[in-house]
Chains A and B, each alone.
Chain A
Amino acid sequence: MSQMQEDDILGKAYDTQLMRRLVHYLRPYKWQVVIAIFLALAVSGLEAVRPYFTKIAVDVNIANSDKVGLLNTTLLFFILLIVRGIVQYYNAYLTQKIGQETIFDLRMEIFRHLQKLSLKFYDKNPIGRLITRVTSDVEVLNEMFSSGIVMVFSDVFMIIGIVWFMFSMNTQLALLSLSVLPFLIYGTSLFRKKAREAYREVRLYIARINTFMQEHITGMLVDQIFNREKKAYKEFDQHNAGHREANIKSIFYYAVFYPSVDLIGAVAVGLIIWYAGGNALQGSVTIGTVMAFLQFNEMFWRPIRDLSEKYNIMQTAMASSERIFKLLDDRSFIVESVSPQIFKDIEGKIEFKNVWFAYNSASGNENWVLKDVSFTIHPGETAAFVGHTGAGKTTIINLLSRFYDVQKGEILVDGINIRDVALADLRRHIAVVLQDVFLFSGDIKGNINLGKEDISIEEIQNAARIVGVDKFIESLPKKYDEEVKERGSTLSVGQKQLLSFARALAFNPKILVLDEATSSVDTETEILIQSAIQKLLAYRTAIVIAHRLSTIQSANRIIVMHKGEIRESGTHQELLGQKGIYHRLYLLQYKDQEAA
């Protein structure tokens, strides 16, 4: 399968560019960052002073047999130790806090962004992958924001200090010990490149594993019923094995890199000793200098090694942030009007004017789902859409709510182009009952008012009563507070349908859209709902999409669609007279019953 490119190939972004963007997120916390850097430097400083105390204890106190002095030095050392501990604690906590604050902001930004993206985006991106962005990709940045940036400062500070000391002591020896540096830098950059590639591959497989898991857990019933456990297992095994191999590749690079860094360090030590052996007699090198350089060498490699350790954090962060920014840069929004028209109390007139629409927007290659569709529904009218599946009926309501924008033509509500009103204003006036009912985990009440608090419990109960789901709800132990599991898995399809009706009614819209929603409810319940809907329709414009003629015969107008075009339009009697598609559907549905 050609999934590889999806997460993999992203435009070559410069790290500095990504970094600049990432650092931007630290801005609100800049004083905390400054304090954290200061504390980190203090820790390094206090650490560096320690050998000095040892030196005093040995060279001054012990050498002079000064027992009191030794005690004083020891006590001073003790105080230093405690202070250092406290500073280190605050530093560690503060860096963690900065990281958490930053990723909280970032996570909310991504989530907010996702809410804005249009359905077009959701059609293209597997949910599993999007979840990875909001959860683990963000999580990865935590380390970079916390220890990453702060520790880099203290490491760089340390390196500069050491180099300065080295050159001030012995230029030749300094140059000699630093001569291995190019190898280290080359090796590190090579490692960084390889490890980053490997890491990206790892993330890709993790995303695939997540996508697979999400889909097959949701569809476990299908797997089990079709005896597909083994096949699904095999497919999973491929993703899983890919993940393992990508990790093993990455381990190899680490396994080569770390020992190499050690080895380069050892070569530097070798060079120092060798040079000292050759030059000590000329008097240019003293034992003290050699010992100092050996210590410097040791101190020098630690921050460099730490820095390369930070590469790990950094490259991980880069890969994650690349994906996060790619998501944040996705502008598949429904473009909101800059100066939206006021759209408060509407009449509910709907007009489609020469609407052309395709789900794939690549021009010249469109797969038109709607072709030149025009119709008008007057306020308070009910229009019923009839047609074979795939005729484009669902698309009509998708367009009315502006889930997608039309390619050609325009859609008007109350004579105003829906592109010229605020999206939220438009949707507030339309209640949609979808084919696939979606329930949120929470309680019954919350699934009817969707957390909108100005819909009171009385209104919720009233809506439930109108659709006839009140008896069912009252029979539950906790009634309206009864828990609803994820996707409403403990409720029957019919019950879910009724709840989604109640939801639509509770929002009290001007325009009501029913998309085949009555189809799974038994006739008894359906009649109940229909009578409730009749009451509602008196004040509302309604679009009803159903395959059962009985549900739509009461409509003011019936529109018959076929392959994206309006083929017939008129009242029930008019259409029967035309002896067209509607007539044929009518006969098929009822001829048997008439014969009986």
Chain B
Amino acid sequence: MKSLLRLLPYLSKYKRTLLFGLLTVIISNLFTVATPWFLGEAIDKLKRGLETQSLQHTDLFWYAAIVVGFAVIAGIMLFLTRQTIIVVSRKIEYDLRNDFLSHIQKLPLTYFQNTPTGDLMAHATNDISAVRNVLGPGIMYPADTLMTLSMSLILMFVKDWQLTLLALIPMPFVSYAVYYLGKVIHEKFNERQEQYSVLTTKAQENLSGARVVKAYVREEYEIEQFRIASWDYFKKNLVLAKAQSIMWPLMFILVGLSLLITIYVGGLKVINGEMTIGTLTAFMTYLSLLIWPMIAFGWVTNMWQQGAASMKRLVKIFDTVPAIRNTEKTDHSIQSVEGEIEFRNVTFTHESAQTSTLKNIDLKIPKSSTLAIVGYTGAGKSSLVNLIPRLYDVSEGAILIDGEDIKKIPVEVLRKSIGYVPQETFLFSDSIAENIRYGDDDAVHEMMHEAAEVSQIANDVIDFPKQYETMLGERGITLSGGQKQRTSIARAILRKPKILILDDALSAVDTYTEEKILQRLRTMMSGRTSIIIAHRISTVKHADNIIVLDGGRITEQGNHDELIAKDGIYAGLYRKQLLEKELESL
């Protein structure tokens, strides 16, 4: 339950509305509870009228009018209750969900690599709506029942305090049962929710991988896997259902016991002449009024338990401190960078990995130069460039830009200066124009065109049904791997970055187009810093400086000719590519 305290700041934002809402609950209850009293009066009046044979037509009309009038007032109040308390709960749900997104936006790449997407989505929808239930119905119903409960109890005590105490004996058991069952339900609910996440992730993975599943005819296997997960979910639901099903009958039995005690003890009192039959009848009416509060109590407890469980999961996410963020060390006076990069004895180890991916990297990339990185798969090339926009932070050593530790540069300034084309292209299911403009929202149409020209996607776009407004992905056309990469490059260069990073971003582009892109980039990137990771010698040979990474270390460094002269890995790669050609051209 402690986790729910975290909602207080959200609640306090709407405290006036909520207080007003609680007021309407009180008023509506006063008018609802008063109605039976007037009804009783009406019956008495009717009885007396019949006995004296002097009943006026209008006598009862006023009672009827009061009943209807009270219902009108109670109704308006009830309307206001829902319009305040329940509406506020939806507003808080909205606030909470926005905060959720804005928080996870700050979390580093590692977090998303280790957290299944399905889990995060389940948190954003199911958990937040479980918390919402606490804030809406979870507040409205207890307020309502508390009012009925206290009013009835007061009236009962006034009539006969001894009988009241006796009749209330089963009530502590009600509380205990609610507490105990609540705990069990909470536990089982948790287990069920976890399985729901598993199920969601399974579905999500299967649907995203539909192509592979179909290509390898694994449909039946996938169905079986899903069936197993789904069956497990079914079982967990039944366990939960068992616990939940006991709740209400037990409530009824315990409340029924109260009634039983009242009838027997009260009955004896009447027989002994210590109580009137009218009082006994009244007592039983009040007890029946107590049934709903008791049920609601159990029900709301459930709601609270579930909400608390969900909130706990949310709090865990909210309390995950973004590893990469501006700190007190950040120098906010830095508003732009020039693009001179230096790696000073940088070592980098992935979380949970035993060996370092990068070891003692010392590297200077002068402003307006081009660095190319070559090396085998897993040599640490991507890791090295990922450190520059701080997708990860170095484990040891430091990276400096313009002589300043990048940890001092505000993260947004740092990233704004970098045009980054990741190894795996990710485009949004939006129009091509929007995808390119992702790099710079303020870019005018001409700038977008230019970026598309440079990256050689412009000619492809002309052939698309709606040109730049053509939708991509799930709601539009599917681009080929090369088209995706070129769109991704356009996105990066649109921002005219001081530092451009191409992480193997030309791999799916044919050599003819690649050549054109590189040519255009050379002009565009003059005066700026470029870093290119590639496998083809043709891609990297014009770079000012080429480094070869092997096992996380720089093993060779120099320009194309120097490296050829060195006769190391680079020269080997070059020869292999040359040899293949010669062999084939025989």
Contacts and interface: CB of A to CB of B under 8 A. Distances in A.
A463 to B, nearest CB: 13
Contacts of A131: 118, 121, 200, 203-204, 207
A195 B504 CA distance: 53
Nearest to A397: B215
Interface in B491-522: 491, 495, 504, 507-513, 515
Given A61-B267, A108-B230, A213-B120, A227 B217 contact: no
Interface in A392-428: 393-394, 401, 403, 423-424, 427-428
Interface residues of A, number: 173
B253 A270 contact: no
A374 interface: no
A260 B223 CA distance: 48
A65 to B, nearest CB: 5
B493 to A, nearest CB: 12
A389 interface: yes
B98 A240 contact: yes
A274 B215 CA distance: 77
Nearest to B250: A85
A494 B94 contact: no
B217 A428 contact: yes
A88 B507 CA distance: 67
Interface residues of B, number: 177
Between B91, B389, B438, the greatest number of chain A beta carbons within 10 A of the residue's beta carbon is seen for B438
Contacts, number: 487
Contact of B39 (A222, A237, A294): A294
A37 to B, nearest CB: 17
Interface in B34-72: 35, 39, 42-43, 46-47, 49-50, 53, 55-61, 63-65, 67-68, 70-72
A303 interface: no
A189 interface: no
5 contacts: A227-B415, A232-B105, A389-B509, A593-B538, A596-B541
A507 B215 CA distance: 11
Nearest to B65: A270
Contacts of A85: 249-250, 252-253
B175 interface: no
B179 interface: no
A515 B151 CA distance: 76
B209 A438 contact: yes
| Nearest 10 interchain pairs by C-beta | A277-B60, A494-B377, A389-B482, A266-B71, A259-B75, A96-B241, A255-B82, A270-B64, A92-B245, A553-B584
Contacts of B423: 493, 520
A130 B245 CA distance: 32
A48 to B, nearest CB: 14
Nearest to A59: B277
B450 interface: no
Contact of A259 (B68, B79, B252, B438): B79
A590 B512 CA distance: 11
Contacts of B424: 436, 493
Interface stretch (A246-254, A304-312, A348-356, A536-544): A246-254
Nearest to B113: A489
B510 A389 contact: yes
A379 interface: no
A108 B227 contact: yes
Contacts of B106: 229
A275 to B, nearest CB: 9
Contact of B422 (A222, A390, A427): A222
Between B201, B212, B537, the greatest number of chain A beta carbons within 10 A of the residue's beta carbon is seen for B212
A214 B125 CA distance: 12
A326 to B, nearest CB: 17
Contacts of A492: 377-378, 382
